Structure 1
Amino acid sequence: MSHVVRLRSLVASALLLGSAGAASTPTLTFPFKVQGTANAGASGQLIVRTLSPTMSISVLTLRGLTPNTAYVAHYHSLGTASSDPCASNGPISLVFPPFKSDAQGQGLALLRAVPARISGTAGAYVNVHTADDVAVIPLCASVLKAAAPTAVQPTTPQTTTTPPATHAASQQGVTVKIGDNTFMPTPLSVAAGTTVTWVNTGKVTHNVSSVDLPGIRSASLHPGESYSYTFTAPGIFTYYCSYHEGMSATITVTKR
Structure 2
Amino acid sequence: MRRLLPTLALAVLLAGCGSSDGGGGGKAEVLKAGDPIEMKSLHFKPDHVQVAVGQQITWHNDESVPHDVKADSGASFSSETFGKDKSYTWTPDKAGTVKYECTLHPGMEGTIDVVAKEATS
Q: 1:229 and 2:85 equivalent?
A: no
Secondary structure in structure 1 of the residue aligned to 2:88:
strand
Aligned residues: 91
Q: 1:251 and 2:98 equivalent?
A: no
Q: 1:187 and 2:23 equivalent?
A: no
Aligned to 1:169: 31
Indicate the percent of aligned positions where both proteins have the same amino acid: 27
Please give the per-residue CA displacement for 1:149-179, whole angstroms capped at 9, x wherever unaligned.
xxxxxxxxxxxxxxx5321123x44310011
Consecutive unaligned residues in structure 2, runs of 5 or more: 1-25
Please give the per-residue CA displacement for 1:105-162, whole angstroms capped at 9, x wherever unaligned.
xxxxxxxxxxxxxxxxxxxxxxxxxxxxxxxxxxxxxxxxxxxxxxxxxxxxxxxxxx
Aligned to 1:197: 58
What's the TM-score once normalised by structure 2's chain length?
Answer: 0.70
- Structure 1 runs (4+) deviating above 3 angstroms are none
Which structure exhibits the higher relative contact order, with contacts defined as CA atoms closer than 8 Å and separated by 6 or more residues? 2
Please give the per-residue CA displacement for 1:179-202, whole angstroms capped at 9, x wherever unaligned.
132000121001111100000001
Map 1:1-256; keep pairs closer than 5 Å: 165-170=27-32, 172-212=33-73, 213-214=75-76, 216-256=77-117
Consecutive unaligned residues in structure 1, runs of 5 or more: 1-163
Aligned to 1:44: none
Cα contact 1:175–1:197 (8 A) shared by 2: yes
Q: 1:246, 1:185 → 2: CA distance?
A: 14
Q: CA RMSD in A?
A: 1.3
Which of the two has higher C-alpha Rg? 1
